[in-house]
Structure 1
Amino acid sequence: MNNTTTAVFYDGNSSVPQQITLTLNSFNRTLEFQSADGSTCKWLVADITFEKRSSGLHLEHGAEVLQHIKIQDANFIHLIQNFRKANGQIGWYQKLIDIGFAAHMGIAVVIMALIGLCYVYIIPWAAEQSVSLIPEEYDNELGNSAWVGNQYFMNVDSTKTKLLNDFAKELKLHNTKKLKFTVVKSNEINAFALPNGSIVVFTGILQEMKNYDELVGLLGHEASHVNNRHSMKMLCRSLSGYLFISVILGDANGIMATIGDNVNSLQSLSFSREFEHQADADGFKILLENKVNPQGMANLFKRLQQQHSYTIPEFLSSHPVTENRIDFINTMIKNKKFQTIAHPQLESLFAQLKE
């Protein structure tokens, strides 16, 4: 391959281009040429800045006076690039530029796919794991804020609230913090737990129940959400993507607004299958340990599904009940040995709650 080519030279003092004969001296590791004034110039390849453009290869050299050479000879450009590679003078960035458009597109697709996977899986998972580092005082503060934001829209039934708390006192719920039960007058078929230990039960769902064992199953299920900090975990998962983007953009106001919006919707967070499965299993254990018929939980879910097949109750929208979950409960009933006893006090309190 010829180590000589013609090129265009700008001496840095004049805008007038000069046609030069440029030679690559591999032994001295220099590019050599003769300028218009007759002087011989020798540029060390290691001291040259190279930039590949659509118009050719552009070389810059010098500190006080910046000189410029433009090469359009493809063979000579290839010769220089091979020389630089052989001498370890091409960095990773230049190598990345040189690999071509198709490769760039492939890398871009891979990067976008990785970002998408991180956004959908890694970031939410990391957010959920980070809950263990958050003191439980934050659960109480968020739960209190959510309660304050919603209590003005709730018509609390104080008589039934006392009855429900008396009902819960008869049970071993394995709660890790004090639980506070509230009955709200509403036809809405719903119940939810806040991270501060507040469990709200609407009269609408109480009216759907036929036996006290269904209420025990419901309270055990909601207590499990509190004990396992499911609301905080789902809140962190819900926030993780927004927070990630807001932090990158430096939008502190956006972060606070997003937190505020999500705190106010804590009661309507839809739990993941994993969390619902855990709450079902814990609720089932609570039924067994209190010697209450575990069929109550399955009966409640079946009834809510069958009687409201056209209009999904609020409870099912935030606690999605699938056939798999009902089958899971029925399988545990078949495979677990359990003993039930009469609970006249629970039965009496339940009857009063139904009035």
Structure 2
Amino acid sequence: MSVQATFFDGTLPEAHPAEIYLDDEVIRITYASADGFPHTDTWLVKKTRLADWHPAGKTRLQYGSFPHQYLDFATADYQAAVLPRYAGRPLTQVSKRLWVQERGFLTVLLITALLIALAWGLYVYGLPALADRAVELIPPAQEQKLGEVLYKQVISEERLPVDPARTQWVNAYWQAVGLPTRFPGQITVVKHNEINAFAIPGGHIVVYDSLLNRMSRHEQLAALLAHETAHIEYRHSLQQLTRSVASYAVLSLLFGDVTGLMAVLIDNAHSLTSLSFSRDKEDQADAFAVEALARQGIDPQGVVWMLHVLPKEGKLGPSALSTHPETTERLAAATKRIQHVRIMAAGAGQQRRLAELWQQIAGQTNKAHH
């Protein structure tokens, strides 16, 4: 097999057009010298190596000791004729080096893409897991202290005016429900035309009066407060808040700076009003509400009634409730659970007390409409 190349004899810088004949063990080079006479040189394949530098568009082979002889092949000719001929021989080493040289840029791009994908995977999946781990390391007492600061921060930043009368009656109602919880529930009713309610880590629950005004029976209020209490008890609110500032929060925790972690969370307190919970967490909170109401002798149908007062899908504003799973799905799941739950008998005194407190709350609601 023969192929065209350019030959340098190693003594003069002249380039000689040459005919290259490829045999199993040797490469024969035929060219015309400066005096016009034909010459033939023979290279042993085992002593032929890739040169350290290549002219543009060429593949350069070198032979022997200094001063080296050189052959310049068009790179396409080299890959088509020379490499296949000597597959598995010493020139195979050359081919690997050539491939790295020619494909190096693509290799760098591929490695970069893989690193970016890995970084994105860590950001999407790793950081949330680390953020949840960070929450586990926060003691409940510390969470309560954080909750107090977050509560004051969000009320101030969002300029939510507190309704003192309804706040007093709703807290009295929740105490009468008597649901045992790890964190003491503290409810605040605020004046706002948005239909919303949200839980703050450590025990605070904020209810917008526009949502309260939609309710017609006390079981709806009990269901709402039990649902938000579940987010606190299961630390959903703290998990979501920590995830939203995961990069800063995790770094603070990794360096043992719990104070720094708290500062980051406080700086992002405003996001509590619109935290988005996953379907699993919302389902968990609804299940908690059904079981809690039944255990306290309150009709768990209140969960269904509460869901009915929420805006229908597609009509929700930018509130926390707008990010919940579709109401129809939650209604179906709650209805199914109620069919299998056992409702405990409540004392007549408790039932009367809850009804009286609801009348006070409903009366305050009616006053607000006039």
- Per the alignment, residue 150 of structure 1 pairs with 154
Inter-partner Cα distance in structure 2 for 1:49 and 1:292: 87
Give yes or no for the alignment of 1:328 onto 2:324. no
Inter-partner Cα distance in structure 1 for 2:282 and 2:331: 11
Partner SS state of residue 277, structure 2: coil
- Per the alignment, residue 55 of structure 1 pairs with 57
Preserved CA contact (<8 Å) 2:127 2:243: yes
Inter-partner Cα distance in structure 1 for 2:268 and 2:127: 15
- Per the alignment, residue 138 of structure 2 pairs with 136
Inter-partner Cα distance in structure 2 for 1:274 and 1:91: 53
Identical positions, percent? 24
Preserved CA contact (<8 Å) 1:56 1:70: yes
Give yes or no for the alignment of 1:317 onto 2:316. no
Q: Give the CA deviation at 1:74.
A: 3.7
Q: How has the CA–CA distance of structure 1 residues 274 and 61 changed in structure 2, closer, same or farther, with 3 Å as cutoff?
A: farther
Among residues 330, 348, 351, which one is paired with 2:359 in the alignment? Answer: 351
Amino acid at match of 2:59: L
Amino acid at match of 2:74: Q
Amino acid at match of 1:348: E
- Per the alignment, residue 206 of structure 2 pairs with 200
Q: How has the CA–CA distance of structure 1 residues 73 and 351 changed in structure 2, closer, same or farther, with 3 Å as cutoff?
A: closer
Inter-partner Cα distance in structure 2 for 1:312 and 1:294: 27
Inter-partner Cα distance in structure 1 for 2:146 and 2:341: 38
Q: Give the CA deviation at 1:315.
A: 5.2
Inter-partner Cα distance in structure 1 for 2:272 and 2:68: 63
Amino acid at match of 1:349: L
Among residues 65, 71, 74, which one is paired with 2:73 in the alignment? Answer: 71
Preserved CA contact (<8 Å) 2:25 2:45: no
- Per the alignment, residue 251 of structure 1 pairs with none
Amino acid at match of 2:229: A
**Worse-superposed segment, 278-287 or 158-167:** 158-167
Alignment of 1:227-242 (within 5 A): 227-235=233-241, 237-238=243-244
Q: Give the CA deviation at 1:163.
A: 3.0
- Per the alignment, residue 18 of structure 1 pairs with 15
Preserved CA contact (<8 Å) 2:6 2:73: yes
Amino acid at match of 2:355: E
Inter-partner Cα distance in structure 1 for 2:174 and 2:49: 81
Q: Give the CA deviation at 1:213.
A: 1.3
**Worse-superposed segment, 143-152 or 326-335:** 143-152
Give yes or no for the alignment of 1:226 onto 2:226. no
Inter-partner Cα distance in structure 2 for 1:85 and 1:330: 72
Inter-partner Cα distance in structure 1 for 2:189 and 2:60: 77
Inter-partner Cα distance in structure 1 for 2:67 and 2:185: 78
Alignment of 1:277-296 (within 5 A): 277-296=283-302
Preserved CA contact (<8 Å) 1:181 1:200: yes
Unaligned runs of 5+ in 2: 250-263, 365-370
Amino acid at match of 1:130: L
- Per the alignment, residue 298 of structure 1 pairs with 304
Q: How has the CA–CA distance of structure 1 residues 46 and 260 changed in structure 2, closer, same or farther, with 3 Å as cutoff?
A: farther
Preserved CA contact (<8 Å) 1:33 1:42: no
Amino acid at match of 1:150: V
Q: TM-score, normalised by structure 1?
A: 0.68
Inter-partner Cα distance in structure 1 for 2:238 and 2:298: 30
Partner SS state of residue 305, structure 1: coil
Q: How has the CA–CA distance of structure 1 residues 57 and 168 changed in structure 2, closer, same or farther, with 3 Å as cutoff?
A: farther
Partner SS state of residue 264, structure 1: helix
Amino acid at match of 2:272: L
Partner SS state of residue 281, structure 1: helix
Inter-partner Cα distance in structure 1 for 2:270 and 2:81: 66
Partner SS state of residue 338, structure 1: coil
Inter-partner Cα distance in structure 2 for 1:132 and 1:165: 30
Preserved CA contact (<8 Å) 1:182 1:199: yes
Partner SS state of residue 136, structure 1: coil
Inter-partner Cα distance in structure 1 for 2:74 and 2:44: 20
Q: Give the CA deviation at 1:296.
A: 0.7
Preserved CA contact (<8 Å) 1:155 1:184: yes
Q: Give the CA deviation at 1:263.
A: 4.2
Preserved CA contact (<8 Å) 1:156 1:183: yes
Among residues 81, 86, 100, which one is paired with 2:83 in the alignment? Answer: 81
Preserved CA contact (<8 Å) 2:153 2:266: no
Inter-partner Cα distance in structure 2 for 1:287 and 1:274: 20
Alignment RMSD (CA, Å): 5.0
Partner SS state of residue 309, structure 2: helix
- Per the alignment, residue 250 of structure 1 pairs with none
Unaligned runs of 5+ in 1: 244-257
Inter-partner Cα distance in structure 1 for 2:63 and 2:147: 65
Q: Give the CA deviation at 1:299.
A: 0.7
- Per the alignment, residue 264 of structure 1 pairs with 270
Q: TM-score, normalised by structure 2?
A: 0.66
Inter-partner Cα distance in structure 2 for 1:323 and 1:312: 17
- Per the alignment, residue 191 of structure 2 pairs with 185
Partner SS state of residue 220, structure 2: helix
